[in-house]
Chains A and B, each alone.
Chain A
Amino acid sequence: METMQPFGEGFATALAPEIVLVIGMFTLMIVPNMGDAKFRIPLTQIRIPWFFGGKRGTLDSDPRLPGVFASMFFVIAFLLAALSYVNGMNVTMIETESGYDLLLVNEFSRIFELIFYGALALASIASINRIPATSRKDRSALGLYNNRRQVDFYILLMTTGLGMSIVALSQDLFLLFIGLELASFSTYVLVSFMKETKEGTEAGMKYFIVGSVASGVGLYGLSLLYLWSGSLQFTELTLAFAENGMEPLPLIALGMLLVGFGFKVSAAPFHFAAPDAYAGATSPVAGVLATASKAMGVIGLLRILLVVASPEATDGAAVWLIALAVLSVVTMTWGNLAALGSTNPKRMLAYSSVAHAGYMLAAITAIGALNWEPEHINASNDAALAVVTALIFHLVVLVCFKLGAFLVLSILENEKGGHTLASLGGLAKREPLLAATMFIFMMSLAGVPPLSGFVSKLLVIMGIVKVALVDVTVNGNLTFSDIHWVWYLALLMVINSAISVFYYLRVGLVMFFHEPEAGREGPLPAGRSVRFAILACLLTTLYFGVGAGQLISLCESAANALVGAW
């Protein structure tokens, strides 16, 4: 492992994707403001063209410009992150002069960067040319928002990406929290970006209030943790936990942090704002919330639960085992039952993402159930690796089909639809390929083979079952009670995914069976970029289902980087 200091030698290479994003932000600020302004040298009549301000040209006042730029920078950042895999991972630790760990670039953080940039790139490609103006004042040519306002949208997407990658990279709880807040604040604004509409304002307000309360609780937990150990470095916290983690103070702090991150992954009972937020935000933003933002929360949970309060510290069961198991059971069941009753497809997807959060919590719970005594450590390591791989795989493919589903809804949103299931009616007649794509996304969410959603669900189930059976020795007197109870989490997950089929199928039913609503018989709104993004989602959904092998080994290397560092 290489170590370096901030802005030291090699810093730019290690953090190239993030630096691209920062450059992108400045470009976005500058370019749409360039005009024919001239600067007069004082005391002379000489005017030098200076470009900042003045009357803008046709090119830089084009409302599509910010979207194109932002998408470009996201794609470059994505490719740079991907390239570091191709070139062989250069594991780099960035630390302060006094030796405090700050950021760690390894397979684990890189794959999460890929998730974030991929989701954001797709969201931003899908939004090019497609943020409709709701008031006359801001309207430009093409019926879009003036590009000065459009720029805000994309800059916020970029700060979201930046905050998220800090979360993935950070080796210090405080830094992690700063990244989390950077991303959160950007998403609060993004959710309420349609500030002229009632839903947009309401969604933003609810999301902000609930989110900031959750952050506040988390921050309080953080301060308690600092009070207790005197450091927020993961390495130090791990040691401190191993020594005397059963004291009340760190346990209370842990519980509070769980609230903070539980909100981010929208685990019940901290999920109440999510359906409103998803329904009020534009669909691409809702898609980002359901995929990238959730991945960010999962990083937080993994760091807190597995690295800091590492299960190795205790014998057989982590302190949080029961709490997390209850949380996961409640979350998956609640999410599925609530989704059954929602007629707004965006709320339905929001609840389905709550259910998916439950599956992920079940997977994390399973790791807590492992036995880390010396004679079991190898088997336990293997099992933990399997579970973390499954988690990462799940988060990666979630970007493909969940974001894809939101993007399909975003096309309908352009004709003021997408808020009721009925507005999907007759989609198969209006645009058969889009309806078929949406159906594939739904089936993937439900976990029907051979789509990637099935592989991810299978991997999570396999991970949990592997953990449940890790201590079992197969002989003649093996009984069912020898199996660890986390096996029942897998059973519950299986039952829940059977329930979920109902509401996913219903979407297909409406698309293929119902007649279009009055006024929606014609062709769908155009939008080449969003269809391109949907196509990308579709192809990856299919590819990662049929050819999952490569992605699994990629996720395994990432999981190895985390598990190996325990």
Chain B
Amino acid sequence: MIDWISIPLVGLPLVSSLVLLAFVASADGAARERLGSSIRMVSLVISLAMLGLTTMMFFAQNNSSMYEALGLDKALDWTGLGFGSFNFEFRYVWIEALGIHWSVGIDALSFPMVWLTTFLLPVTIIATWNEKHASTYFPLILMMGGALIGVFVALDLFMFYVFWELTLIPMFFLILKWGGKDRKYASQKFFIYTFTASVVMLLGLVTLYFLQPDQALSYSGSWTGRTFDIPTLTAHAQQGNAGGAWFLGESMQKILFVMLMLGFLVKLPSVPFHTWLPDAHVQAPTGGSMLLAGVMLKMGAYGMFRLPLAFFPHAAEHFQFWLLALGMISLVWGAIVCLGQTNLKKMVAYSSVSHMGVILIGIATMQPLGWAAALFMMFAHGIISPMLFAVCGAFKHHYHSMEIGAMRGMAKHSPWLATSMMFAWMASLGLPLLAGFVAELMMFLALWHFLAANDWSVLWMVGPALVLALTAAYYLWSMQRTIFEGGEETQPPASLNGQPVPDIADSEKFAMIILAVFTILFGVMPWIALDMMNGWTVAFFETLLIPILGGA
């Protein structure tokens, strides 16, 4: 097997972005502007190459020419990979004394996320083709992509944490340099909020590290005798949890679970830790928002599956009520706040909070179906929310305002933007045959099943039912105000100063079409992604959760 991850997927974007930035930094102002278009092209080519590679990985499931091109002698099996095994698993010693390895691998949990990242990179580049300061903007987007993929492929806690924090830096600069009026406040809040939660998580990880027995675990450090290796730790925790025992003891497990979950809940974000998100989104440039909502939020959910849920299933069961409650509050509260928003982007940001609530509910049900719903929601939201933000960005770009109602009768004079907006809004509110619907439906089923099986009150269903109505309400309301209202006599916003109203640019149209096509694709044929997610979930439950917790 060839290591297709370390260099092509992680190293290439990071290093090329640094090289490009260093190159740009040594050029003077005028030369920098000239360089912009070629740097954009280089970034696009690199991101397309990465997308090509991950797409080949997907088709290597059954297409012999694909897996032979990847240097494999048999087809990759994403669906039946089983729990704890990985494709393209590679390991290099990093800091030997502490048991730190550069260790990468992709399983069916991380593969959709990796593909999604590589998919969103070129789409983001295309959608924000005319962004100003192109010579520094596009390398930062590339760096963001490299760091995000690093988080998803890392199989070593140290490496995971390094990439986890590394994602903050390009995003900080994207918000700071290309953001709106309050970008200074928003970028700092974003950085400090997530950093604080992450360091608490780090302390939890270090404590977990030293709570391992000081014995010859595989890949352990020569000096500490412990390992940061995630599969090894998972296997070890699995033993410790077996037979009803609590790995590390009951109170310890609970505390560590809370410490790790804090980092992930802030990133997700879940109410009450969500306040950084609307600020960051409103101020962030379109490209930053697309990646932030599309992939970066998913890091939180991904991390939950990878670490605390695998290490501490007893604690997860113990805190099930709280997880469910948090998810429910995020879902409902996000939707209610959406109703009150006058700012288009802020509304979309709060709708993200609401959708993240769906993920959390899915996780909290502790049902294979619920987890698969959460996984599919991560994926579907990763395609739909960039489209939402691309629409917001185009809106802002052309009408110089984000206020709902600043622009009316869009259907008349900007048919492309109006159509994209309508499509994205419909996808986000869960229209059948679009990707979001599948995830929401699955979550409903899982929640019903869970409530019925465990004799919990049916009143829990009130939340999701209410949210269905609320979501439809705020989306339809905003659509009606911007697209249709105004009738024959449209009202161009005052900020346009009487100039004719333009429609979106060709590159934006192209990005919208791509996103729309994939939204439909995964709505009509969800099994493309759902099969492997389901395979991973079932394997997780069969090998890890059911033997430990019992029942189904």
Contact = CB atoms under 8 A, between A and B. Distances in A.
Q: Are A and B physically bound partners?
A: yes
B206 A461 contact: yes
Chief secondary structure at chain A's binding surface: helix
Contacts of B94: 549
A205 B195 CA distance: 40
B245 interface: yes
B191 A501 contact: yes
Interface string B78-106: 00000000000000011111100000000
B98 A487 contact: no
Contact of A462 (B22, B165, B209, B245): B209
B518 interface: no
Nearest to A475: B249
A513 B224 contact: no
A69 to B, nearest CB: 33
B200 A509 contact: no
Contact of A501 (B195, B202, B224): B195
Interface string A496-510: 011001100110110
A396 to B, nearest CB: 15
Counting chain B CB atoms within 10 Å of each CB, the highest count among A433, A494, A497 belongs to A494
A469 interface: yes
Given A479-B249, A512-B177, A462 B206 contact: yes
B252 interface: yes
Contacts, number: 122
Interface in A513-561: 513, 548-549, 552-553, 556
A502 B95 CA distance: 30
Interface stretch (A21-29, A36-44, A144-152, A442-450): A442-450
B25 A478 contact: no
Given A449-B162, A461-B203, A549-B95, A478 B188 contact: no
Interface in B164-218: 165-166, 168-169, 172-173, 176-177, 184, 187-188, 191-192, 195-196, 199-200, 202-203, 206-207, 209-214
A454 B202 CA distance: 11
B248 A448 contact: no
B212 to A, nearest CB: 8
Contacts of B224: 386, 462, 466
Contact of A480 (B165, B184, B191, B255): B255
B454 interface: no
A458 interface: yes
Counting chain B CB atoms within 10 Å of each CB, the highest count among A443, A477, A478, A479 belongs to A478
A360 interface: no
A494 B202 contact: yes
Nearest to A550: B95
B28 to A, nearest CB: 10
A232 B158 CA distance: 45
Nearest to B198: A498
A553 B252 contact: no
B188 to A, nearest CB: 6
Contacts of B202: 458, 461, 494
Given A501-B192, A509-B188, A466 B210 contact: yes
Nearest to A436: B25
B26 interface: yes
Interface of B: 21-22, 24-26, 93-98, 158, 161-162, 165-166, 168-169, 172-173, 176-177, 184, 187-188, 191-192, 195-196, 199-200, 202-203, 206-207, 209-214, 223-224, 245-246, 248-252, 255
Interface of A: 379, 386, 432-433, 436, 443, 446-450, 454, 458, 461-462, 465-466, 469, 472, 474-480, 487, 490-491, 494-495, 497-498, 501-502, 505-506, 508-509, 512-513, 548-549, 552-553, 556
19 contacts: A386-B223, A386-B224, A448-B166, A449-B161, A449-B166, A458-B206, A462-B209, A462-B210, A465-B210, A469-B210, A469-B211, A475-B249, A480-B255, A497-B199, A498-B192, A501-B192, A505-B188, A509-B176, A513-B177
